[in-house]
Amino acid sequence: MMMERRFKRGNLEETVLDLRRVTRVVAGGKRMRFRATVVVGDLKGKVGVGVAKGLDVERAITKAKAVAEKNMIEIKMKNKSIPHQVEAKFGAAKILIKPAVPGHGLVVGGAPRVVLKLAGIQDITAKCLGSTTSKLNYAIATVEALKKIRVKS
């Protein structure tokens, strides 16, 4: 089960997607830090993913939120879905996102679901095709796929 904590700040919603304790080995022993992956969105077509490390959990989450807000992208939506099928790869994570008819709902699991939900997309079908379980890579692959959306002017 995925850990999901949602917060609302202003017009943005934030979700802590992943929180890990990471270790660096130095001459004197091991140095521990925390790595946070945060997804930020306004539920109206803007979404961003941020990753940051800190000496404690709170610092890592705060830094990751700032990075996510800085990396926000705007998505071209059509009837609370996307206009066409897109596909992207990041690391070993590969994702395929297809538009759906109104009322279909969000048919996707894991990290891509959180990203698409905070972007404000309500009707979509997506499939994780890669050979990894990394929430971070799937979240970034989802954002990369959403960047590929093109709309006729």
Question: How would you write 54-119 as a 3-class SS string?
Answer: ECCHHHHHHHHHHHHHHCCEECCCECCECCCCEEEEECCEEEEEEECCCCCCEECCCHHHHHHHHH
Give the model's pLDDT for residue 9.
64
Chain centroid to CA 86: 16
Asked if 34 contacts 56 with a C-beta cutoff of 8 angstroms, the reply is: yes
Q: Are residues 80 and 52 part of one domain?
A: no
Tokens 């404000």 identify what position?
Answer: 120
The range of the structural domain enclosing residue 92 comes to 76-147
Q: Structural domain tally of the chain?
A: 2
* Res 1 pLDDT > 50: no
What's the pTM value of the predicted model, to 2 decimals? Answer: 0.89
* Res 112 pLDDT > 90: yes
CATH number, domain containing residue 117: 3.30.230.10
> Looking at the domain assignment, is residue 152 inside a domain?
no
Where among 30, 55, 73 does a domain terminate? 73
> Looking at the domain assignment, is residue 36 inside a domain?
yes
Give the model's pLDDT for residue 136.
94
Averaged pLDDT for residues 23-38: 95
Where among 16, 47, 73 does a domain terminate? 73
